[in-house]
Structure 1
C-alpha cells in the first residue's frame, strides 16, 4: 500500500480513501499498525481541526435519531459532518451488527456527511480502541464537525470525553430524578445535557426531567473551563427538530468562550498526553503476546489456580521477568 498516496487522497477529502484509511488503522496486524502510524504522521501535516462532539446516553434514548436530525441541520448550513458510530461487539462471537447507517437514512445519503460504524471489540468506555485515530483522519479530510456516538453504556461512559471538545449527554424524559442527576462520573464531565423526545405526550415529563437535572447541575462544583451558565440542561426533539438550533448555538457559545480563554488548546494538549500514556500501557500489554511470556503466563496461571502461589506474587514474578 502506498501510504503517501493514501494520505494525500485523504487530505483531498476523498471518501473512499478515508474509509480505506480507517480500515487500516483499525487493523490489529503488526504490519498494518506500522503503516497506520506512518499514515497518521503523514496526515498530521494538514494542520486541520474539527469540532469534536462526543454523544453518550443509555440505549434507546434516541442517539442515532438525534445525530441524523442534528447532522442534517448542520449540513444544511454548509458544514461537512463526519459520524463515528461505535457498535457493541458480542462477547460470544466477537461480531457487531454495524447497522447505524440504516438508522440514519437521510444523513447517509447527504454528500456533505460521512458515517462510519466501528465495532467496540474488547475496548471499554463506550468507544473503540482506534476511535481517536479515526477522528484525526476525519479532521485531515477537512470535515468541520466530527460526531462520536458511543455504544450507550450509561454512567461509566467517560472515555469519549478524553477525545472530544464537547461532551453531550442525551437523556430520555423521566430518566431519573434530581438525586439521579447528582451521581458522579458521567454527570461531572458532561458539558450539556439534552433531554430528547421532548414532544407530544412526553413534553410535560421532559420538562420536569430538564428542571430536575438543571437543579442537579447547580449542585456540582463549577469547572474552570466553563463560563457562567454551563453545564446546562436543555430540551430537544430529534423527531420534530425543536431545540436543535438553540442547542447548536449554545455549543458554539461554549466553544468560542473556551478558545478565547485558552481552555481549548489546554484541553487538547491534556488529551494528547493522556492518549500517549494510554498507548504506552497498551504497548506493554501487547508484550504479553510474546511466545515465552505466554508460556510463563500459562505456567503461573496454573500455579495460582492450584493455590500454590498467590495472584499478587505470581504477577510480580511475571513482571520482574519482563
Structure 2
C-alpha cells in the first residue's frame, strides 16, 4: 500500500504538546496528605475546633471494621466524651416516598436560620446482593449541604439490624463535640430500625402522608406508640383537605394509647416541605416537648437509660464480632454449616457446640 504523501491532507502533522491535566506537585502533596493518618489526639483537637473534615475522618474511623482502627477510634470517642451530650437529638422516620429528605432539608434550613448548628446523620439502606449503598442524601439536600452551619453524613446500614448504622450512636457524640447543637437522625424507613433510633434520640418524629392509606395505620401500635409527634407532609395543592382529614383521624387514634412516661401528649400537625410551610409549627412542638421533659427531669433520666442500653448493646456487638472473627471458629463454622445443611446435626446442637468451643479457647 502506497504511503500518503507528507504534504497531503492524510499526513499526520505534529501538533502542540498538551499540558499535563494534573499539577503533579499538587497531586503528590494530596497523596502525601491522604497517606498520613492523623493521630487520635490530632483528630480530637480538630473536632473540638469545629473542623468538619476531621469529624468526617473520625466517623470513618469508628465505622471501620478493621480491628487495627478500633483502639484509635475508642481513644477519639473517649477524648470527645466530656464535650458531648450538649445537643438535642431528633429521630425522623417514615415510609419511603413520604419526603424525609425534602422535609429534613427544609427543617434543617429553618433551624440554621434560627442560629442552630445542625448535623444530619442519614442511614442509607445497603443492598443485600451487592452490599453497596447510594449514599445520595447530600445530593438530595443540595441547599442544606452548602450551609456553613450544617453537616450531613450519610452512612451505609450494612448488615445492621433494621437498617441503623452500626456506629450511629458514637457519631452523635462526635458531632456534639464538634459543636452541633441539633442532631437529626434519618432512618431508612418504617421497620425494626425505629426501635434502635428511638433508643438514641430525645424526640421521635413520625412523618406521614395523606391519601395513601396511612390513616388506617393510626390504630396500630408499635411505631405510633413511639412517636412524640406525627407530621403529615405534602399538605399542599389539592392535598390540603386530605391532610387536614388525616390530622383529625390521627388525633382520634392517639387518644386510644396510654399516657407516656414523659407526661407528654403526642401532637399531630401538617406541613409542606416542598413549599416550606408549617415547618415553624413542627419546631414549636419539639421545643414545647423539650421544655416539659427538662422541667420534670424525664429528659435527663432517658439519657441515662439510653447510655446503659448502649453499653449492653456494645457488649453484644463485640462478643458477636469476636466470635465470628476467631480463626478456629471460622473453620468449625463452615464444617457445621455443611453438617446442618445435610441434616447430620441440628442447628441448635451445632450452635451450642460452637459456643462451648469458643468459651473454652
TM-score range (shorter-chain normalised) is: over 0.9
Matches within 5 A, 1:160-309: 160-176=197-213, 178-227=215-264, 230-286=265-321, 287-309=323-345
**Residue 235 (structure 1) shift:** 0.7
Q: Which runs of 5+ in 1 are unaligned?
A: none
Map 1:1-322 → 2, pairs under 5 A: 1-154=38-191, 157-176=194-213, 178-227=215-264, 230-286=265-321, 287-322=323-358
For residue 11 of structure 1, report the CA deviation from its aligned partner: 1.0
Cα deviation, residue 174, structure 1: 2.1
- Describe the shift of the 1:98–1:122 C-alpha distance in structure 2 as closer, same or farther (beyond 3 A): same
- The separation in 2 between residues aligned to 1:233 and 1:291, in whole angstroms, is 53
Number of aligned positions between the proteins: 320
Distance (whole Å) between structure 2 residues aligned to residue 175 and residue 181 of structure 1: 12
User: Separation in 2 of the partners of 1:197 and 1:49?
Assistant: 32
For residues 173 and 72 of structure 1, the distance between their equivalents in structure 2, rounded to whole angstroms, comes to 24
Judged with a 3 Å threshold, the aligned counterparts in structure 2 of structure 1 residues 199 and 178 are, in CA distance, closer, same or farther, namely closer
Secondary structure of residue in 1 paired with 2:160: coil
Q: CA deviation at 1:147?
A: 0.7
CA distance in 2 between partners of 1:19 and 1:6 (Å): 10
Q: For the residues of structure 2 that align with 1:177 and 1:168, how far apart are their CA atoms?
A: 15
What CA distance in whole angstroms lies between the structure 1 residues aligned with 2:117 and 2:338?
54
Quote how far apart the aligned CAs of 1:156 are. 6.1
Distance 2:263 2:74 in 1: 34
* Aligned 8 A contact 2:187 2:193 in 1: no
Q: Secondary structure at the match of 2:355?
A: helix
Relative to the length of structure 1, the TM-score reads 0.96
Q: Indicate conservation of the 8 Å contact 2:161/2:193, yes or no.
A: no
> Could you tell me how far 1:176 is from its partner in structure 2?
3.1
CA root-mean-square deviation:
1.4
- Name the CA distance, whole Å, in 1 between partners of 2:222 and 2:159: 21
Q: Deviations over 1:239-262 (max 9, x none)?
A: 122211111011011011111111
Q: Measure the CA separation in 2 of the matches of 1:175 and 1:43.
A: 44
Unaligned stretches of 5+ residues in structure 2: 1-37
**Structure 1 pair 168/309, CA: closer, same or farther in 2 (3 Å)?**
same
Q: CA deviation at 1:179?
A: 4.1
277 and 74 in structure 1: CA distance in 2 versus 1, 3 angstrom threshold:
same
SS in structure 2 at match of 1:125:
helix
Any idea what SS the aligned residue of 1:157 has?
Answer: helix
Q: Distance in 1 between matches of 2:262 and 2:149?
A: 31
Instruction: For residue 82 of structure 1, report the CA deviation from its aligned partner.
Output: 0.6
Q: Distance in 1 between matches of 2:162 and 2:263?
A: 24
1:194-239 deviation per Cα after TM superposition (whole angstroms, max 9, x unaligned): 0000111011111111111111111011111133xx2111111111
* Alignment partners' CA distance in 2, 1:156 and 1:194: 19
